[in-house]
């Protein structure tokens, strides 16, 4: 779905920031839902 592509791009952007890990964990939980 479109959301998955958006999340993947968003994670790539935030991956360079310190919050990247927190966001990855948060998205990892919501991705299952």
- In the predicted model, is pLDDT for residue 13 greater than 60? yes
Cβ-proximal residues to 24 (8 Å cutoff; 6+ apart), any chain: 11, 15
Of the ranges 3-7, 8-12, 21-25, which one carries the lowest mean pLDDT score?
A: 21-25
- In the predicted model, is pLDDT for residue 31 greater than 70? no
Q: Count up the domains in the chain and report the number.
A: 1
- Rounded Cα gap, residues 10 and 7, in angstroms: 5
Range(s) of the domain holding residue 10? 2-32
For the chain, give the secondary structure using H, E and C. CHHHHHHHHHHHHHCCCCCHHHHHHHHHHHHHC
Burial of 14 (0-12, 13-18, 19+ CB in 10 A): middle
């Amino acid at each position: 779905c479109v959301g998955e592509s958006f999340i993947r791009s968003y994670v790539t952007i935030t991956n360079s920031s310190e919050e990247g890990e927190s966001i990855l964990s948060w998205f990892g939980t919501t991705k299952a839902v």
